[in-house]
Amino acid sequence: MALLKKINLKAKSEINTGFGVNTNDYGGRFVNKDGRANIEKKGVSFLERISWYHSLLAMPRWKFFSVIFLFFIVVNLCFAITYYIIGIQHLAGVVPRSEPKNFLEAFFFSCQTFSTVGYGRISPAGYLITSVAAFEGFLGPLSFALATGLLFGRFSKPTAYLKFSENALIAPYQGITALMLRVAPYKNTTLLDAEAKVNLGMSVEENGKMVNKFFPLTLEFNTVTTLTLSWTIVHPITESSPLYNFTQEDFANTKGEVLVFIKAFDDMFSNTVVARTSYIFNEVVFGAKFKPMYKSSVDNKKTILHLGKLNTFDPADINYAFKQEGITG
């Protein structure tokens, strides 16, 4: 409890953060590393709480194409089974052979009907099987239209292509210390008027019970005109900072999380894009400084941004900053 009392009383907390206040009702971190809220919703059915459109737009590329391919296979398997049950003899052009080959003929006829290719070698004969084929021919273009729309939506969706450093650092800064994290664009996009907002969430004791408190962190610069290189976001730990007097042991023994929000303007889409991440205190490295990640090219005509160095850092002595304040530990 004594550790929690070290929080600077000069630091003003926020009330309207959108996160829970009672620590007993909140589990894990507030925001995942990928920027998504660490929330699981219950009380309604799975189909009600899932937006399939948003899920398909947000899922990784390999999952998206896997879902599309799996849907194509499953739908054609269902129609192939239907044709097979009706009778393979009602598919004109199919020469009866072994049962597995007859089913394959029905499956490939379904694929041709669903995709509206229709090579003509096989055709339905009879009202029942023709009706099924007509329904599949109606369903196929609708499915491809939806898949095409989703593919276009993924391709054209404005996205903040930003990578954050895996760790935040407590680093030396102008005779004191500062909380630092780094972000860099990794696509050939141009982001303008980038704005950063950093909040600190901590579990503190208030009126005899543990509550979540959120503190806005003042930044050295909270905006940059053009985000083309890496941007080291710096929160100077001054006397007005909630992290003032915090030692390495305090970070190790306190439940806290640094919430990072970045908003920028993408001039290609003329739209605002956002990116989020967070760092729990276990992901804050105490006594380190980032290595430079860009330099001029050999011919001195370009600047080379080494994205692989985004999270590289060296140890740094910050004990002097604490000695100046008379802090030990």
CATH of the domain at 120: 1.10.287.70
Q: How many structural domains does the chain have? A: 2
Are 198 and 320 part of one and the same domain?
yes
Residues 231 and 142 in one domain: no
Are 163 and 244 part of one and the same domain? Answer: yes
Domain end among 123, 156, 189: 156
* In a shared domain, residues 143 and 28: no
Report whether 229 contacts 294 (CB < 8 A). Answer: yes
Q: Where is the domain boundary, 130, 156, 182? A: 156
- Tell me, what amino acid is at 35? G
Domain containing 113: what range?
49-156
What does DSSP say about strands 168-173 and 284-286: parallel, antiparallel, or unpaired? parallel
Residue 138 CB partners (closer than 8 Å, separation 6+) = none
Task: Record the pTM.
Answer: 0.76
pLDDT band at residue 235, thresholds of 50, 70 and 90? very high
Average pLDDT in the chain? 85
- Per-residue pLDDT band for 11 (boundaries 50, 70, 90) equals low
* Residue 77 shares a structural domain with residue 32: no
pLDDT, average across residues 230-253 = 89
* Contact assessment for residue 228 and residue 162, using Cβ atoms and an 8 Å cutoff: no
Residue 304 and residue 173 in one domain: yes
- Are residues 24 and 61 part of one domain? no
What is the rounded distance in angstroms from the CA atom of residue 272 to the CA atom of residue 256? 29
User: Residue 59's pLDDT is what?
Assistant: 86
pLDDT over 70 for what percent of the chain?
87
Query: pLDDT band at residue 285, thresholds of 50, 70 and 90?
Result: very high
The H-or-E segment that residue 81 falls in is helix 61-86
Q: Are 17 and 92 contained in the same domain? A: no
Q: Do both 170 and 299 map to the same domain?
A: yes
pLDDT at 304: 92
Residues 107 and 220 grouped into a single domain? no
Indicate whether 14 pLDDT > 60. Answer: no
Residues 190 and 306 both lie in one domain: yes
- The arithmetic mean of pLDDT across residues 241-267, rounded, is 89
